[in-house]
């Protein structure tokens, strides 16, 4: 058995982040549902069909762990947050600001105390679980609790927290309890690989390297330092005391919306505490452009943890030069052991339902390239 094939738990040498381009039929169905032209049941049937088709394509591509492509979601993070009891979908004062583009203006608001009971993602997981082949793992992706907490620091959301909680600490405590409930329910349903998607660290790194962005975001430097501590504490609290066979990883990127980005700057300013204190098994890291900085911060990742290098971009259909990617893997290995490195796209192909600007054919060509390179590097 080769190094490439012998791994049986996440992360894998050849891996993905999670989301895939939505098929045209699914996009049209979601639009019709929003317009009241089809029922929820009709939309679900179309989602089911698209997910089954995606699973077959993922397995044919050789992936050891597959996802449902996040096909039932509009956003990579908000749909999960909306699924918690006590939280509802809300219109924001403005969308998220990306480079040269602003997203739809949506967010979340509290309408009561937060609970993790009956989260819809559990049933979503069960559907995917029931349609994979024997031996194929299902990776469940959710936003980190730090990401959910960060959402409620938006100015228009603070009032909703203050309405139901005496402090943000009390809110954070309930949020953690809710997450642990959802994770317990996912585990009971058979989930053994969980990925915490997290853009908070890219925001903190951006703030550290562009101080002028701190004030415009409504923070000061003291609050930023406290937020980093809070993020680690929130994430580690849901990771602690979980079953030994539940692998929990994290994906940290700089934003991914319609092939554009939100933050810039290397991992250096946040390597401690992110790499030194967050108790995940693996870090899936964006490294497809110079905006991510160099590999030097990987020195801070403990040698028993994995780093999944996001060297292949999901933002463009242009196929990377395989030798360039191979050389970059070996460059990263100067700072973290090669046998603790893996390869993936830098992010999903459709973190929101809009999707990135590339074709499905180009999407699968990227995945095939990653597999081919991983086989060459790890044998």
All structural domains of the chain, each given as residue ranges with its CATH number in brackets, are 3-378 (3.20.20.210)
Task: Determine the Cα–Cα distance for residues 259 and 171; give it in Å rounded to an integer.
Answer: 34
**For residue 216, how many other CB atoms are within 10 A of its CB?**
10
Task: Determine the Cα–Cα distance for residues 367 and 15; give it in Å rounded to an integer.
Answer: 8
Long-range contacts of 79-84 (CB under 8 A, 24+ apart): 80/119, 80/121, 80/142, 80/143, 80/148, 81/108, 81/143, 81/148, 81/151, 82/108, 83/119, 83/120, 83/121, 84/114, 84/115, 84/116, 84/119, 84/148, 84/175, 84/178, 84/182
Q: How close are the terminal C-alpha atoms of the chain, in Å?
A: 10
- Cβ partners under 8 Å of residue 218, min gap 6: 153, 155
pLDDT for position 219: 60
pLDDT for position 96: 85
**For residue 57, how many other CB atoms are within 10 A of its CB?**
16
pLDDT for position 221: 57
Residue carrying the six token digits 């923070």 = 219
Are 71 and 22 a contacting pair, CB within 8 Å? Answer: yes
pLDDT for position 211: 73
pLDDT for position 3: 54
pLDDT for position 216: 61
Helix, strand, coil shares of the chain, percent, nearest 5, are: 45, 15, 35
Q: Which stretches of the chain score pLDDT less than 70?
A: 1-5, 213-222
pLDDT for position 209: 78
pTM, rounded to two decimals: 0.96
pLDDT, tens digit, 9 for 90 and up, residues 132-154: 999 999 999 999 999 999 999 98
């Amino acid at each position: 058995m080769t190094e490439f094939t012998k791994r049986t738990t996440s992360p894998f040498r050849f891996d993905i982040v999670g989301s895939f381009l939505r098929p045209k039929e699914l996009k049209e169905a979601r639009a019709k549902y929003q317009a009241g032209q089809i029922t929820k049941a009709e939309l679900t049937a179309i989602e089911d069909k698209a997910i089954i088709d995606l699973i077959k394509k993922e397995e044919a591509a050789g992936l050891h762990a597959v996802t449902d492509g996040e096909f039932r979601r509009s956003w990579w993070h908000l749909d999960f947050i909306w699924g918690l009891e006590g939280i509802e979908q809300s219109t924001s004062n403005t969308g998220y600001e990306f480079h040269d583009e602003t997203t739809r203006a949506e967010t979340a608001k509290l309408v009561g105390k937060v609970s993790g009971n009956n989260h819809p993602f559990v049933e979503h997981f069960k559907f995917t679980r029931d349609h994979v082949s024997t031996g194929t793992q299902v990776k469940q992706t959710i936003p980190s609790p730090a990401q959910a907490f960060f959402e409620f620091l938006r100015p228009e959301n603070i009032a909703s927290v203050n309405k139901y909680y005496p402090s943000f600490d009390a809110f954070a405590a309930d949020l953690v309890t809710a997450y642990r409930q959802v994770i317990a329910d996912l585990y009971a349903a058979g989930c053994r690989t969980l990925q915490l998607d997290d853009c908070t660290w890219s925001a903190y790194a951006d703030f550290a390297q562009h101080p002028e962005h701190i004030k415009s975001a409504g923070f000061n430097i003291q609050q930023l330092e406290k937020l980093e501590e809070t993020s680690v504490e929130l994430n580690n609290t849901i990771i602690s005391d979980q079953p030994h066979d539940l692998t929990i990883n994290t994906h940290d990127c700089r934003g991914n919306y319609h092939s554009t980005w939100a933050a810039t700057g290397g991992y250096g300013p946040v390597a401690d505490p992110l790499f030194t204190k967050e108790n995940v098994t693996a870090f899936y890291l964006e490294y497809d452009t110079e905006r991510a900085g160099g590999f030097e911060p990987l020195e801070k990742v403990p040698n028993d943890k994995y780093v999944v290098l996001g060297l292949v971009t999901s933002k463009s259909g242009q196929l990377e030069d395989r030798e360039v990617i191979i050389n970059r893997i070996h460059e990263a290995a100067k700072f973290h052991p090669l046998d603790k490195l893996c390869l993936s796209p830098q992010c999903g192909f459709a973190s929101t339902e809009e999707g990135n600007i590339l074709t499905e054919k180009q999407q699968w060509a990227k995945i095939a390239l990653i597999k081919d390179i991983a086989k060459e590097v790890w044998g």
